[in-house]
Amino acid sequence: MASRIFGGANLSDIARSVKERADPSPLDRPGSGRPILAAAEMALTGKVAPALERENIFSVDPKRVRPWKYHNRTEGWYTRERCQDLIESITKDEQQEPALARKVTGDANFDYELIYGMRRRFACEVLNKKLKLRVIEADDARAAVLMHIENADRQDITPMERALSFQTQIEAKVFATQDALSEAMGLSKGQVAKMLKAAQLMRQASVAGLFADRSAVPIEQAYKVATLLERPGAKEVILQAAKNLAREGEGKRAPSEVLRLLAGSLDRSKKFTPVQKQYNVGAAKRVTVTRNARGKVTLAFPQGLQGVAPQEVLTAVEQILKDLA
């Protein structure tokens, strides 16, 4: 079933339109008194209405542009290594696609904020080039939808980055409810709920500190650990396990391995009632069963097993397993 947002628009169609449509600068459109950004109108209504969105394209100093606070790329992206492809592309062919921004006021350090295009901004700053911006008027909800459309088919943005962005949008009331966010983004309610719960795990400082790059944290495993935290008594065990891992220098482990260890900490912490009991083995032999508080079970045959039929041993072991289960 195709994902739809406000007005019944198909999200994939909108994304394709945004990618394929190359709107010229308003300066290239004679007689257009109030140029529009078609994608913004399509994103929220499913149709294009003239003169609803102002669009202007400028070349600006990238240092005068700040990120939108709900941006879905983490800081780990902004290095020469991770932006090298874009740096080379802009060096060779200039900046082909403008970033999307809004005008800001009351900030002496910045004139614009980017809705999307932060890698382009970084590359232009490295190259000491002007950054091309498409400047629109849009509230936070519209900006969130436009950012999602722009990045919907990008493989380099991870599910956790999107989840963290959705979390900040919900907390800031950009969308009133999870359901409103789900509808706007064209995602199922269940999918958004899972993403938000997984992102919530990163609010636990002792857990978040185990990951050098939060964007690499797998959603499914993070969701599992976040769900385990809700069990009675589980939170203390898992958070203590996180502190133990931090002391061990956990940064060297892969995020999936860290989460596996956190989830397994509950099993490792289980306490067992100590047991010491004897069972008959056949008519003349006996076995002593000992279980310690950590669940380790030991079987001892003080008289040996000489003269005992194998089936008699199996019968005794089956009874032991049944009693200890």
Q: Give 22-50 pLDDT, tens digit per residue.
A: 333 333 333 333 333 344 444 444 444 33
Span 45-63, average pLDDT: 63
91/230 Cα distance (integer angstroms)? 51
183 Cβ contact partners less than 8 Å away, ≥ 6 residues apart? 5, 6
Sorting pLDDT into bands at 50, 70 and 90, what band is 75?
Answer: low
66/245 Cα distance (integer angstroms): 36
Element (H, E) at 67: strand 65-67
- Closest alpha carbon to 192 in 166, 171, 230, 218: 166
CATH numbers and ranges of domains, the chain: 6-154 (3.90.1530.10), 158-270 (1.10.10.2830), 275-324 (no CATH)
What's the token pair of residue 45?
Answer: 């209504």
How much is the pLDDT for 40? 41
pLDDT at 13 over 80: no
For residue range 102-125, list pLDDT tens digits in order. Answer: 999 889 999 999 998 888 888 998
Cβ neighbour number for residue 23 with a 10 Å cutoff: 17
Which has more confidence, 164 or 27?
164
- Measured distance CA(323)–CA(297) in Å, rounded: 12
Span between the terminal Cα atoms of the chain, in Å = 46
pLDDT band at 323 (very low <50, low <70, confident <90, very high): confident
Name the pTM for this structure: 0.62
